Amino acid sequence: MALRTAGSTTTTVLSALRFGADVTPQDMGTLANLIKDDKVGAAGAHLRLNSAFSQNGLLLVPNRGVLQVLPGDYVMVDSDGWPVLVSGSSIGFGSTNWAHS
Asked whether the whole model's pTM tops 0.75, one would answer: yes
pLDDT digits (tens, 9 = 90+) for 48-76: 556 778 888 898 888 888 999 999 998 88
* 77 neighbors 15 (Cβ within 8 angstroms): yes
Query: Domain for residue 53, yes or no?
Result: yes
The number of distinct structural domains making up the chain is: 1
Query: Domain for residue 6, yes or no?
Result: no
Query: Domain for residue 78, yes or no?
Result: yes
Q: Measured between alpha carbons, how far is residue 94 from residues 30, 38, 45, 56, 100 in Å?
A: 29, 33, 38, 28, 12
State the CB neighbour count (10 A cutoff) for residue 34.
19
Strands (E) in the chain, as ranges, are 15-18, 36-37, 47-48, 52-53, 58-61, 65-68, 74-77, 83-86
